[in-house]
Every structure is written in structure tokens, then in C-alpha cells.
Amino acid sequence: MRITCFLLLLFMAVPCVAQNTDINEAVTKTDSLTPDPFYREDQFYASISYNLVQNKVDQYSQNAFSSGFTFGFLRDMPINEARTYAVAIGLGYSYNNIKQNLFVYETQERGETARVYEVVEEGSFDKSKQVLHYLEIPLELRWRNSTSYSHKFWRVYTGFKVSYLIGDHSYFGASGGEVRVRNNPDLNKLMCGAYVSAGWNTWNFYTYYGFTPIYKDAYTVKGEKINLSSLNIGLIFYIL
């Protein structure tokens, strides 16, 4: 008889426990979906892109894959109550590796070092590249249809950035040897350009166009001014 009573009480208690569990789960879920009026989006970024050089001189060409890479931090500052519009400013790093047939080397003229720029034929060298390192300050206007409890949303960000050259070197390798030029004073130290990124969730397309030429005062051996500029096309990824 005691066992029977115990079993009856146990079966009566189980639905009560289950009901309490369901209520607790519902409360937890509701709390997690409560909008945060102070949330921010996309504080860190990283991009990988292909550098399509523009404004080419005669017979200039790119070879292999000219890569671009950026990463940095952006301070997201919403400007409307729904926090779907925002401005952002940040600090980042940019790396560009341009594979090209432009041979850069140094000579001595009247006791001073001068740079010579020569466009050489494809197949006459093993490797030729220009590597550029920049610190960058991006400023952008943002639109997204995000919420504080979902990180999957559409976004369109467009902006402008100023970049400062902190390091550079060119490399040319052929059967006759190797030539390197570092800290080239003919390069523009201060660069500026515009960019746009757009996409859904993780995958966002990215395009940057540089208004400032890569070289500020450089001419080929044929006397043609070098006005090369960057057009980067690729993907950008954002992290909270």
C-alpha cells in the first residue's frame, strides 16, 4: 500500500516539474530576445582582395595574383533609435603585394641615389613585385537591418579612408641576380580612397578605389609618368 501511494505521488509530481521547466525555458528565451538599446555591430574587420592596378603605363602588366589584405577595428556609433544607421571610425593595417613587370633599381648620379623604372618583357624575369604596408584610418556610413539578438542581416557600408605608408620594398629576380629597393622616396606616403562593402551575414563583397597614385614622382626610362593606382576587389569579414 505504501509503495502504491508513493508511485501515485511521484506521477503527480512529474507533470509539475515539467511545467516549471517549460516556464523557466520560456522566460530564459524571452529574456534572451529582449532588445538591447545600446548594442553595436561589426567592431572588427578583415578583408582579402585582388589588386587591379589602374592607369597603367605603356606595356605595363600584372602577373600572378596581386593580393591585398586589411584588418582593423571600427567604433560603431548608431545614429537612429532602431540602430540600423550608424557611422564608424577606426584604425587598421593594409598590405598590398603587386606582381608586375616594372623593374625598379637604383643608380648613383652626381653623388646622389636615383631610382630607375623600366617596364620589361614578360618571361625575361622570374619574379617582380612591389610590396606596400599602410596604416589606415577608415570613416564610414553604415546601414543594416540588424537586431540585438541576431547576427544574420543585410548590410551596406560605404566610406573613405586615409592610409599612411609605413614600409615598402620592391623585388626583381632574374637569371642575372636579384635587386631590392626599400623605403622608396618616390612613393606617395599619404593615400586616400573610397570603398563600399555589402552582403549578408558572413559573406560581404568589398571594393576599394584609390584616388591617390601609388607613385608621386616617377617616370619610366621612356619618359612616361607613372600614375598607377589601386582598385581592390574581394571579400570582407566582420566580427563583433
* pLDDT confidence band for 30 (50 / 70 / 90): very low
Whole-angstrom CA distances from 238 to 54, 201, 202 are: 28, 9, 7
* pLDDT confidence band for 27 (50 / 70 / 90): very low
Identify whether the C-beta of residue 48 lies closer than 8 Å to the C-beta of residue 68: yes
Residue 202 has pLDDT above 80, yes or no: yes
Report d(CA 8, CA 20) in Å as an integer: 19
* pLDDT confidence band for 26 (50 / 70 / 90): very low
Report d(CA 185, CA 163) in Å as an integer: 16
Classify 58 as helix, strand or coil: coil
Q: Residue 67 domain-assigned?
A: yes
Predicted TM-score (pTM) of this structure: 0.82
> End-to-end distance of the chain based on CA atoms, in angstroms?
62
Q: What is the pLDDT of residue 33?
A: 52
| Domains identified in the chain, total number | 1
Q: Can you give the C-alpha Rg of the chain in angstroms? A: 28
- In sequence order, the 6+-apart residues with CB closer than 8 A to the CB of 95 are 67, 68, 69, 70, 131, 132, 133, 134
Q: Residue 182 domain-assigned?
A: yes
Q: Residue 100 domain-assigned?
A: yes
Q: pLDDT digits over 96-117, tens only?
A: 999 999 999 999 877 789 999 9
Of 34, 33, 38, the closest CA to residue 78 belongs to: 38
**Residue 190, C-alpha cell as written in the block:** 599619404
Q: Residue 27 domain-assigned?
A: no
Identify whether the C-beta of residue 46 lies closer than 8 Å to the C-beta of residue 71: yes
Please give the residue range of the domain that contains residue 195.
39-239
Q: Residue 21 domain-assigned?
A: no
Report d(CA 189, CA 193) in Å as an integer: 14
Place of cell 586589411: 70
Q: Residue 2 domain-assigned?
A: no
**Residue 10, C-alpha cell as written in the block:** 511521484
The values of phi and psi at residue 83, to 5°, are 60, 30
Q: Residue 1 domain-assigned?
A: no
Give the residue, 136 or 146, on which the prediction is more confident.
Answer: 136
- In sequence order, the 6+-apart residues with CB closer than 8 A to the CB of 219 are 117, 225, 226
Identify whether the C-beta of residue 170 lies closer than 8 Å to the C-beta of residue 184: yes
Q: Residue 13 domain-assigned?
A: no
Report d(CA 138, CA 72) in Å as an integer: 9
